Chains A and B, each alone.
Chain A
Amino acid sequence: DTAVSQTPKYLVTQMGNDKSIKCEQNLGHDTMYWYKQDSKKFLKIMFSYNNKELIINETVPNRFSPKSPDKAHLNLHINSLELGDSAVYFCASSQDIRLPYEQYFGPGTRLTVT
């Protein structure tokens, strides 16, 4: 059973398009995250939700909008895609945002904008 799953695994699209990435966790965790890993493998947090409430909102263009329909799902919608958005996007979850539990990562979505 996959603990944190993401779809799609690969996404190739043109500049200006709008796309979504979906994430689901079956661990019963309260907190979910979105990270961006660039071509140099640098990993940076974008957003965090705790029980559907936005907790962390880093300096990210407002073309990126997370949505959490329930605590098991956190989707990422990106409007007007740009070349610089090309990266691997990871979803993660942890048990409770208040405590230093480890985060469990999904397999990643490789986004390529042409």
Chain B
Amino acid sequence: AQSVAQPEDQVNVAEGNPLTVKCTYSVSGNPYLFWYVQYPNRGLQVLLKYITGDNLVKGSYGFEAEFNKSQTTFHLKKPSALVSDSALYFCAVRDKIMGGGGNKLTFGTGTQLKVEL
């Protein structure tokens, strides 16, 4: 079984400051990891993903995430936050394909990011 923990329900940051949204995962074998963003009353959209290779992954809107296998973390970061970054952020891990399990994503509980002027 796999799981994802997002320990913070909400993160507040001032515009222009760096931001970090934390994610810790648990999965058998090698994980596939994703960050999704959900704006109010919208569906989720992918920001970035880690499949293999370089541990630092760059994504949309200036976001990046670092895969740390020893600590089983995949924290989302941005050097300078914008008010428009305010949204709900989900970390997700993909289950290994075992039998008919397929491409099942397990999502964290979400972290509300609030960027203020």
On A, residues with C-beta under 8 Å from B are 4, 31, 40-45, 48, 50, 55-56, 90, 92, 94, 97-108
Given known contacts A56-B104, A100-B94, A106-B43, A41 and B51 CB-to-CB distance under 8 angstroms: no
Given known contacts A4-B43, A43-B90, A103 and B101 CB-to-CB distance under 8 angstroms: no
Cβ 8 A contact of B44, one of A45, A56, A105: A105
Residue of B with least CB distance to A99? B103
Taking a contact as CB atoms under 8 Å apart, the answer to whether A90 and B44 are in contact is yes
Measured CA separation A94–B46 after assembly (Å): 12
Given known contacts A41-B110, A42-B109, A43-B90, A102 and B46 CB-to-CB distance under 8 angstroms: yes
Q: For this complex, into which size category does the number of interface residues on chain B fall?
A: 20 to 34
**B 67-109 binary contact with A (CB < 8 Å = 1; else 0):** 0000000000000000000001010001001001111110101
Taking a contact as CB atoms under 8 Å apart, the answer to whether A98 and B103 are in contact is yes
Please list 8 pairs of residues, one from A and one from B, whose beta carbons are closer than 8 Å in the complex, sorted by A's number. A43-B110, A55-B102, A56-B102, A92-B43, A100-B32, A106-B43, A107-B41, A108-B41
Residue B34, interface by CB 8 Å: yes
Taking a contact as CB atoms under 8 Å apart, the answer to whether B110 and A45 are in contact is no
Measured CA separation A56–B102 after assembly (Å): 7
Given known contacts A41-B109, A105-B43, A106-B43, A100 and B100 CB-to-CB distance under 8 angstroms: no
- Max chain A C-beta neighbours (<10 A), residue from B90, B101, B104: B104
Taking a contact as CB atoms under 8 Å apart, the answer to whether B97 and A98 are in contact is yes
Measured CA separation A97–B42 after assembly (Å): 24
